[in-house]
Amino acid sequence: MTTRRGEFRTLYRALARKPDAFASTPIVFCEGDSWFSTPLAMNLLDWLVFPAPEDEKKGVPLFGAGGLFFRTEDSGDLAVDMFTTRGIRDLSTWYRGFEFDLVLVSAGGNDFVDTFLQTTFRGAAPMSPSAAFQRVVDTGRYDEVLARYRAFVTAFQAIRPHTPILAHTYDYPRELGRPAQLTLGNLGAAALLKKGVGPWIGNKVAHVLPRIEQQREFARLLIDGFVERVLIPLRDDRTTGKVFDFVDLRGVLTSGSQWFDEMHPTGAGFAALANKFRQQMRAKLEIKLG
């Protein structure tokens, strides 16, 4: 079962009235950005919540007796905005009120693109990908995202000291400069109201990194920087590392056909990523639920 906030409480209470089902059903808290929420195709979280077609035909559930997912993700969210003091307080209210077995987080990708890149490279002269990456590091953005992530993990850990929190890396973009193509088929009637979405990287750095190979290398450095400067420090920390871990999704999608636009995989691309995510998710639930 997958629910937004309004439905979750009702379903949780109904499940709690059935002790055997409640004991065997993972209760999963989900917060994130468009990799968990994009409506353009089956996104990463959709593939984790719903069975793949071949599994569905066989009647194979993803997580034992299924799962109850609290979903509060939203496209375009930044970690620095999601994990403010006020944001954490709001999320903590829900997290404290129910017996969650696992927390899934998708955050950090939007913090290093779009307006941030436009501001960081405004008026800059051409440079190498490594110099462009150093310019990003010098802004202090990674430190800011790490601090917000740490505040979120620490707050949740204080509420449930043994409940795993699982984040993920992003994969390396290939189609730099490709905007999303919105159609009635992939977005429904909402597509008629939108002129397009993106790009968020290529067009912001093209004046300093004119070749797509340079832009791809820069994007790789951005993602590796997020892993090395945010995710790994949290995982390896003696305190937050007791609950926090992440799934490394880098290098899974190697074909342009697996990308819907500059930053978002296709449904098939997300399915490939979910296969890797699901393994670690199951392992965390086995530890938690036995």
Q: E strand or H helix at 103, and its extent?
A: strand 102-106
**What pLDDT does 57 receive?**
60
Position 147 scores a pLDDT of: 98
Please, what sign has the CA dihedral across residues 43, 77, 214, 140? Answer: negative
Q: What was the pLDDT predicted at 187?
A: 43
- Which residue in the block uniquely carries the two structure tokens 């899934």? 104
Average pLDDT, the chain: 88
Distance CA 63, CA 109 (A): 28
Tokens of 269: 């691309």
- In Å, how far are 25, 90, 113, 161, 280 from 93, measured between CA atoms? 22, 5, 30, 16, 27
Question: 261 is written with which tokens?
Answer: 């636009």
Greater model confidence, 149 or 6: 149
CB atoms near residue 187 (< 10 Å): 19
For residue 230, pLDDT over 70 is answered with yes
Q: What is the mean pLDDT of residues 37-65?
A: 67
CATH class for the region spanning 2-284: alpha beta
Domain boundaries, the chain: 2-284
**Within 13 Å and on the Cβ side, how many CA atoms surround 151?**
18
- pLDDT, residue 58, reads 55
Question: Range with the lowest mean pLDDT among 4-8, 245-249, 255-259, 272-276?
Answer: 4-8
User: Structure pTM?
Assistant: 0.90
* C-alpha 96, offset from chain centre: 22
Q: What number is the average pLDDT over the span 106-110?
A: 96
Which band of pLDDT confidence, cut at 50, 70 and 90, is reported for residue 48?
A: confident
- Please count the other Cβ atoms lying within 10 Å of the Cβ belonging to residue 35: 24
pLDDT at 282: 87
Mean pLDDT of 94-106: 96
Q: In 3-state terms, what secondary structure has residue 173?
A: coil
- pLDDT higher than 80, residue 290: no
Mean pLDDT, to the nearest integer, of 245-271? 94
Find the helix or strand (DSSP H, E) in which 199 lies.
Answer: none
Which residue would you say has higher pLDDT here, 62 or 167?
Answer: 167
Could you tell me which residues are beta bridge partners of residue 3? 70
How far apart CA 219 and CA 211 sit, in angstroms, is 13
Residue type, 257: S
103 beta partners = 29, 165
pLDDT at 51: 59
